[in-house]
Amino acid sequence: MTRKTVTSIQKPLKSLVVNGGQRLAGQIVVEGNKNAALPLLAACLLTDQVCWLTNMPRIKDVEVMGDLLRGLGATVSGLGTTKLQLCCAQLGSYEPDRTLVGRLRGSVLLCGPLLARLGQVRLAPPGGDFPARRTLAVHLQALKAMGVRSVEDGSGDYVLEAPEGLRPASVYLEEASVTGTETALLAAVAASGESEIRHAACEPHVVELCRFLTSMGAEVEGAGTPTIRVAGGCRLGGAEHQLDGDYIEAGSWVVAVAVTGGELDVRGVGAEPLEPITSVLRRMGLDCKIEGAKLSLRPSSPVAIRQVTTAPWPGFPSDMVSLISVLATQAQGRTLIHDWMYELRLFALEQLSGMAGNLFICDPHRMIVDGPAQLIGRTLDSRDLRSGMALIAAALAAKGTSRIHPLETVERGYAQLVERLIGLGADVEIEEG
C-alpha cells in the first residue's frame, strides 16, 4: 500500500481584533456537536458503503479529519458544508498523514477502524490541545486487550498490528476517557464476539456514536452507562445520521453575551445536555431558561458562587471551565474554580491578570477569582480552543482593544465565529499576519 499525503499551502495566521464594551444581542443557531463529529467520521471507515452525516459543524477540526480520511483513500464530499457524504470502499494506506495528525488529537480515533480494515496502523503523535499532557494510555490499553500488539521501531510513532484480526475482550478502562471509550467501541464492533467496556464515559457524544454504530448494523447495549456491551463482527453497512446540537458551543455563546450585559436566544440543542451548564449559570445569577430546543438569556447581574468543580458526565464539563472563569471575573464576590480533570488548563487564563482581572492560580487544577473587575484590552494568546474562546469573551467585556492570536485555534471548534460575533453586534475584525 502507498501512503497518500494531503498537501496544503501554509497561510499566515490571523488575529481577531476586538473593540470591547459593546452590548451583544441576537440569536445563534448551533450546529452539530464537535465532540461527536470526529468519532462519527472515524466510524465511516468501518464500512465500504456510503454514509451521510448531516448537521455537521463547519469547523477546522472537521476539515482536518476529512482530509485525513481522503489521504487514506476515502471519498469525502461536502467538506465546509453541514452535509457530508463519505465512502471508504478503497483504502490505500494505513498511515494517516502525519502533518494533519499533528494538528488533531481526535486522529487517534482512526486506529480502531484501520486495524479492523487493514490489520495495522502507523500513527504519528497526535496534536491538538495539550498534546504533551494527554497520553494514549487508555486507548492502547483497550486495543491491546483486543489482540493488538505494539511495535517499537524507534520512530516515536504508534505502530500497531492485529495480524489475526481484532478479538472480543472484557476491558476495564483505568480512566473514563471519552476518546478512550470511543476507541474501544470502534474496535469492539469489528471484533467477532461479545465485548464489554467498563468504566466507560457516559457523555452525550459517546451515546451518539453508539447510535450511529447501531444504525450501521452493530449491536450495542448500555450507551450512556458505565458498562457498554458490544456484539461485534457483523458486517457494517452505510447509514445516515443527523448530529445533535453542540451544547458546549451553546454554553460558550451564552457566557460571551452575558459578560457584555446582553441577551441571546440559542437554538438547536435540547435541555438535557445543557442542564449541567445551565445549572451553574443560574446559580451565578444568569437569567436563562430553556423552552424546547431554545436556550434564552436575558440581561443579568452575575454573582459569585463558592465553588465550580468539573466532573465527568453528568457533571459540569471541563470544556466550559475557561468560560465560566471569565464569567467569574464579572461576578460580585469570590469563586473557586476547580478543574480536577485536566491539569494546567487554567494556566492559559493567567493572561486575565494582564487585563486587570483579579485572580490567583493556586495550583495546576485550582484558581480563585474575585469580581467584578473592569477588564482592560490587551494582546492575548489563544493557546487552546476553549481558553481561546474564553479570552474572546473577556475581550468583549473589556474596555479598549484586544488582539487574540491565532484566531485559527478558536476556529477549530466554533463555526463562522467572526460572522456570528458581528451579527450579535460585536466590534471585531480580522487582522492578517
Active site residues: 129
Task: Report the distance separating Cα 67 and Cα 76, nearest Å.
Answer: 8
Query: Torsions phi, psi of 245, nearest 5?
Result: -65, 155
Taking the C-alpha atoms of residue 299 and residue 287, their distance in angstroms, rounded to an integer, is 7
Q: Which three cell numbers stand for residue 181?
A: 471509550
3-class DSSP state for residue 193? Answer: strand
Q: If DSSP codes are grouped into helix, strand and coil, which group holds residue 279?
A: helix
Cα distances (angstroms) measured from residue 143 to each of 48, 174, 223, 369: 22, 13, 20, 42
Q: Contact 49/82 with Cβ under 8 angstroms?
A: no
State how far the Cα of 140 lies from the Cα of 105, in Å rounded to an integer. Answer: 15
Q: How far apart are CA 325 and CA 398, in angstroms?
A: 15
Q: Please give the full DSSP string across 212-225, using - where no structure is assigned.
A: HHHHTT-EEE-TTS
Q: Using CA atoms, how far apart are residues 238 and 46, in angstroms rounded to an integer?
A: 9
What are phi and psi for residue 213, nearest 5 degrees? Answer: -60, -40
Q: How far apart are CA 259 and CA 393, in angstroms?
A: 7
CB contact burial 69-87 (16+ within 10 A = b; e otherwise): bbbbbbebeebeebebbbb
Residue type, 135: T
- At 89, is the secondary structure helix, strand, or coil? coil
Helix intervals (H) in 165-203: 178-188
Q: Name, in order, each residue with C-beta under 8 angstroms of 431's C-beta and a sequence gap of 6 or more.
A: 14, 15, 16, 17, 403
Instruction: Please tell me the distance from the alpha carbon of residue 392 to that of residue 382, in angstroms, as a whole number.
Output: 9
**C-alpha R_g of the chain:** 22
